[in-house]
A and B are shown apart, each in its own frame.
Chain A
Amino acid sequence: MTDETKNSLVEKMIDCPEELTSGEIMSIMEDDELRQLYEISVGLQDSLGCGRQVDAAKEWDAFRPRLRRRSRHPLLLIAGVAAALAGIVILVGIMADTSGFRHQELPLTDSLDKEESVVEKNIAEAPVVSDTEVKRLEHLAPAVQKTTGAPPAPAGGDDTAIDIDEFMRIEQARIDNDIAMAMARVYEDEYYAYISAAIALADCQLASAEDVTAMFDNAPDIEIVTML
């Protein structure tokens, strides 16, 4: 490589390095002198290029807002967690609502009061039992208990806890029942429409051709009518 070519490459690598071609880069990398001149040039840039004045106060003013944003970060994190929890609760609520799974509602107070008053009324109206009768009944009670056996065990925790399979079966049955009821209502409507049209015909009332056609089209299946 001639000195002229080397000088030309030095000019390019210092003045406009972005214009270096891949071949020129390879030439610089492979030539020891050019490579060393490049490294000296980098050293000059490192040493002389950092002498500018730095306004620290101005830089601080520009940087400080970034600290504020970061310092609020934990609060944002807590807010995010709260939002996620709220979302989960809402989701569970929606799922429970769509699946029809609800907690057992307590009986209303007024219905309880009503039942209580009925019981009190029955007690008041009950015939008076004499002491001798009471003694006779007490005497018979053990024998009755013996013949009927022990009273059934009260419902335990296992009976109240519905496992998932049981729950799914109940849900499936409920859905089937809903479909059957909806179908029944449709058939019922068709049946009443048919009966009305037949009565109208029997009374010799005028009916349009469309009504008569609809009457025969909607004629219910005898099996479905029986089922209803």
Chain B
Amino acid sequence: MQYSITEFETIYLRCFPPAMRLAISLLHDEDDARDAVQEVFLRLWESDTGIENPQAFVIRSVRNVCLNRIAAADTRERFRRRYSLDEPDDGVDIEARHSEIRSAVQTLLTQRERQVVDKIYADGLSYKETAASLEVSVSMINKSVVTALKKLRTHFKTNK
């Protein structure tokens, strides 16, 4: 334990938000994400060796903890939690990948498709809730989703 409580609080307040966002983006569940991030902070607190850059340590460790948890999930669990079926690539810059997708959503999708995608993926609504909020049918929602996914798939396939 190398930090005083005050020092550690400063590190925590600075590093927690990006670490939590990263964990949520990988694990898709707030409780799981919080658990993973706290595990890393406890490791940092108990660490006897000096860590030069705590923020880099926390982000790297959170990413590793999350990827290990995803790797431990079987196929059914991956579908249930919406984890990737492919093995994670350590070389990929997660933040860069996220901004690339966000940019594609903004440029390639129609307004209606963007609305539907935001409601489902950003707000976490179900098809039924989304349909109710946009006052359309559930099948219309699914049609928009499928169209949006196909557009993005074509985009990333050609730009790979």
Contacts and interface: CB of A to CB of B under 8 A. Distances in A.
A40 B149 contact: yes
A168 interface: no
Given A25-B76, A47-B102, A48-B118, A11 B127 contact: yes
Given A44-B101, A60-B13, A49 B5 contact: no
B151 to A, nearest CB: 9
B17 A56 contact: yes
B64 interface: no
B75 interface: yes
Contact of B126 (A7, A15, A18, A52): A15
A59 B152 contact: no
Given A25-B79, A50-B24, A56-B16, A41 B105 contact: no
Nearest to A28: B79
B41 A49 contact: no
A49 B122 contact: yes
Contacts of B156: 40
B45 to A, nearest CB: 6
Contacts, number: 133
Interface residues of B, number: 56
Contact of B98 (A10, A13, A36, A46): A46
Nearest to A41: B149
B22 interface: yes
A119 B10 CA distance: 84
B150 A37 contact: yes
Interface stretch (A64-72, A104-112, A133-141): A64-72
Nearest to B151: A40
A35 B84 CA distance: 10
A46 B20 contact: no
Contacts of B98: 46-47, 50
Interface in B82-98: 82-86, 94, 97-98
Given A14-B120, A48-B117, A66-B38, A54 B21 contact: yes
Nearest to B95: A47
A66 B42 contact: yes
B55 interface: no
A156 B139 CA distance: 103
A201 to B, nearest CB: 89
A42 B83 contact: yes
Contact of A48 (B22, B75, B105): B105
A42 B105 CA distance: 14
7 contacts: A17-B80, A37-B149, A39-B84, A40-B153, A49-B28, A57-B13, A64-B9
Interface of A: 7, 10-11, 13-18, 20, 22, 25, 28-29, 33, 35-52, 54, 56-57, 59-60, 63-64, 66-67, 70-71
Interface of B: 1, 5, 8-9, 12-13, 16-17, 20-22, 24-26, 28, 30, 34, 38, 41-42, 45-46, 75-76, 79-80, 82-86, 94, 97-99, 101-102, 105, 117-118, 120-122, 124, 126-127, 142-143, 145-146, 149-150, 152-153, 156-157
Given A37-B153, A48-B105, 15 more contacts: A7-B143, A10-B142, A10-B149, A25-B79, A39-B85, A42-B84, A44-B152, A48-B122, A49-B122, A50-B24, A59-B12, A59-B34, A60-B13, A64-B5, A67-B42
